Amino acid sequence: MRDAVTSLIRNYDVTGRYLDRNAVDSLKAYFETGTARVAAAAVINGNAAEIVKQAGSQLFDELPELIRPGGNAYTTRRYAACLRDMDYYLRYASYALVAGDNYVLDERVLQGLRETYNSLGVPIGPTVRGIQIMKDIVKGLAEESGILNTSFIDQPFDHLTREFSEQDV
């Protein structure tokens, strides 16, 4: 797994350059948010089940057709699979959050997802909405825990939604 530091150094190494002002500024920004990143991951860890439960409830309130007969979360098995997937996205978003790099999302979540979702007939819109809801919940909990600037929390969640949205899943 990569993080912001190793990714930056790797990019400069590949091009044979010394770390310039932009690199130093990027590293500085990463380290300045380091404590907050770890604190946000702790918030996620301590509240993961509730975050997923609350996000699932809100998603199904907004899109009740998902849990009606014929909907993608209609049976108990499908409903549980939806919540399991939301938990999966939340867990990997927390890894990317701490790393300050979205590589783990690309490698472990997004790669191969198109084929899987296509074969299962899973609609992408509700998946994207569920991830957005989880982001909002996490940001709220982070603010409640004393994290003043929660903008860095957007990065992994927005990456997931952007990549899902760009793919014809």
- pLDDT on residue 1: 75
Name which of 35, 33, 26, 32 is nearest 4 in CA terms: 26
| Stretch 88-109: mean pLDDT | 95
- Give the separation between CA 115 and CA 128, rounded to whole angstroms: 17
Is it the case that residue 168 has pLDDT exceeding 60? no
**Confidence at residue 169, expressed as pLDDT on a 0 to 100 scale:** 43
- pLDDT of 121 reads 83
CB-based contacts of 12, cutoff 8 Å, min separation 6? 18, 19, 23
For residues 115 and 95, give the distance between their C-alpha atoms in angstroms, rounded to a whole number. 24
Q: For the chain, where are the E strands, in sequence order? A: none
